[in-house]
Amino acid sequence: MKVFISGGCKNGKSYYAQRLAKEQQKKDLYYVATMRPGDEEDIERIGRHIHEREGWGFSTVEQYEDIDQILQICDPQGSFLLDSVTALLANEMYKKKEVNIAAGDKICWELQKVMNVIEDIVIVSDYIFSDCMVYDVLTEQYRKALAQIDKTAAAGCDVVLEVVYSNVVVHKGGELFEADHWGSLSREAYVCT
Amino acid sequence: MKLIIGGAYQGKLTYVLEQYQVDKEEVYYASMTCSELPADKKIVYHLEQWVLACQKEGRNATEKLNEYLQKFPDAVLICEDVSCGVVPVDPKVRQWREAVGRCTAALSQRADEVVRLFCGIPTKLK
């Protein structure tokens, strides 16, 4: 099953996504890490995430750009967790001196390829669209591109979830999501403490 | 009246065009520089910008909307959700955000239908 998850920060998305990916593991279990560490804070955050995943059985694949490359590197029959398209977009958009405004289109295209081939994947994004800030042009382009990616991923996934402070709102695929083996996972997200 | 809400770029206009089978020409694109509502169109996009225009020109948004809705009881109003960020430092932006919130809440009570868009997916709230 393909699941798209978004929501505000520190709502428990990543930990919940991890559980979903683990839940649908049949063969290999992949964690597609997208955050290119930029500073001490990033290294700390990544360390925390690695620690959280210990003992879960994830193979970590570092893919900071060209996301469709995971189709070459991994067994497409595995269960994937892609966390997150937010970081992926930042990497693609700002990888050179000049901002790549086509990054959104590129990721949408590559994600579609990924979603066509891989059966079991959980894709995580961040919901940054309901404030009243007036942003500079570059940030606004980033917001627009992320929304484009979110809409593409949501259209391609079987289930679309919004995590709101550990509660799960099902926007798409409710019947599928609540079917049998998803059981207790389906309604309540778990915040890792 | 129908109220369509959702964050930026979530697919609100696309939803309205598809759901109600209308052309873009039938949509009024509100801006922060004009506090008038259209005399000949019943679909208003970026209602939040119109609220800002009212605020700038010192006009009462609720009264103007009431007049408009008397004329177009079957209007479709599309409003961006600007309510979830950090409280803005600028008092004008703060007032605007609150005005949009009050306006949307009042419209929501009145509406026959309220739909929220999330990543292109509509959910009927009412």
**Could you state, in order of their start, the residue ranges of all structural domains in chain A?**
2-185
pLDDT digits (tens, 9 = 90+) for A56-105: 999 999 999 999 999 999 999 999 999 999 999 999 999 888 899 999 99
How many residue contacts between A and B have a Cβ separation below 8 Å? Answer: 64
First vs last Cα of chain B: how many Å apart?
12
Provide the ipTM: 0.77
- Nearest chain B residue to A134 by CA distance is B93
Q: Is B55 on the interface with A (CB under 8 A)?
A: no
Q: Which of A127, A132, A154 sits opposite B120 (nearest CB)?
A: A154
pLDDT digits (tens, 9 = 90+) for B20-63: 999 999 999 999 999 999 999 999 999 999 999 999 999 999 89
Q: Is B95 on the interface with A (CB under 8 A)?
A: no
Flag if B9 and A144 touch (Cβ within 8 Å). yes
| Nearby residues of A98 by Cβ (< 8 Å), 6 or more positions away | none
Contact A130, B83 (CB under 8 A): yes
User: For chain B, what percent of residues have pLDDT higher than 70?
Assistant: 100
CA distances from B71 to A50, B19, B30 (A): 60, 22, 18
Flag if B100 and A171 touch (Cβ within 8 Å). no
Residue type, A122: V
Q: Is B81 on the interface with A (CB under 8 A)?
A: yes
Q: Which CATH number fits domain A2-185: 3.40.50.360, 1.10.4190.10, 3.40.50.10860, 3.40.50.300?
A: 3.40.50.300
Q: Residues 5-64, chain A: which have Cβ within 8 Å of B?
A: 6, 8
CA distances from A38 to A34, A91, B112 (A): 12, 11, 49
d(CA B6, CA B46): 11
Q: Give the model's confidence band at A179: pLDDT under 50 very low, under 70 low, under 90 confident, else very high.
A: low
- Nearest chain B residue to A162 by CA distance is B118
Of A128, A121, A178, the C-alpha closest to A153 is A121
A159-164 sheet: strands from edge to edge: A59-62, A29-33, A79-83, A120-124, A2-7, A159-164, A167-172
Q: What does the domain layout of chain B look like in residue ranges?
A: 23-124
Q: Is A154 on the interface with B (CB under 8 A)?
A: yes
CA distances from A70 to A29, A75, A117, A158, B59 (A): 13, 8, 11, 20, 56
Of A74, A86, A111, the C-alpha closest to A13 is A86
Please name the fold of domain B23-124. Answer: Rossmann fold (3.40.50)
d(CA A57, CA B80): 42
